Amino acid sequence: MNYHITYGTSDYLKTIVEKFEDEEGSFYLLEGAEDTALIHKTEKESLFESGQSYEAIEEAGGFEGAEYIVFNNIPVSSEGRPLFEDRFKQRAGKVEHEPGCTGIIILRPKDSETYLVSSMWKDESDFEAWRQSTSFEKAHRQKDTSEALPQTVFTGKPYIKSYRIIETQ
């Protein structure tokens, strides 16, 4: 499955949704503190003039029932991709089984180096409760240890962006 993401103002992105309302796939309009994003989930190539395209390498659950979305943006070197992907496929904790989590999607970038590990939550309080849980601690316990992925896998520092779903179609 392909996920195409473009950014802009809420009003502009709504016009894109209207323009392509008969296209195959699902659209999700997300509003964050810094920007607004439009996701098109489809088997096809991107309809957007700009933005990023990703291929889902693992999906469990999804956007349905979610109001709060978290993108963990992780820059990975081309040499580090196999190791990174294997680690995420073997990940501990399996966040999708946590209370309030509606799904997780691991997205491989098609034309950049930044992976998106997207988790979907019923609301922000569910995400914050998970971050304070022993499951979160277990999933991240290898960080800063010899068991962690080598730093050469990464080309930059990971960062998180969060959004609220404001419209789906």
Query: If DSSP codes are grouped into helix, strand and coil, which group holds residue 125?
Result: helix
Residue that the structure tokens 């309302």 belong to: 21
The closest alpha carbon to 91, from 160, 153, 149, belongs to 149
The range of the structural domain enclosing residue 20 comes to: 2-168
- Provide the 10 A C-beta neighbour count for residue 8: 17
Q: Confirm whether pTM is higher than 0.85.
A: yes
Going by the DSSP 8-state scheme, the letter that residue 96 receives in this structure is G
Q: 114, 122, 123, 125: which is closest to 160 by C-alpha?
A: 114
What is the pLDDT at residue 136? 82
Q: What is the pLDDT of residue 134?
A: 85
CATH number, residue 21: 3.30.70.100
Render each residue's pLDDT in the chain as its tens digit; 169 residues. 999 999 999 999 999 999 999 999 999 999 999 999 999 999 999 999 999 999 999 999 999 999 999 999 999 999 999 999 988 877 655 888 899 999 999 999 999 999 999 999 999 999 999 999 888 887 666 665 445 678 889 999 999 999 999 988 7
Provide the sign of the torsion angle of the four alpha carbons 70, 137, 104, 45, taken in this order: positive
| Count of structural domains within the chain | 1
Residue 158 backbone phi and psi in degrees, to 5: -65, 155
Given the structure tokens 């304070």, which residue do they identify? Answer: 132
**Residue 111 in contact with residue 75, Cβ under 8 Å?**
no
- Per-residue pLDDT at 52: 97
For position 93, what pLDDT does the model report? 55
Q: Which residues contact 128 (CB under 8 A, 6 or more apart)?
A: none
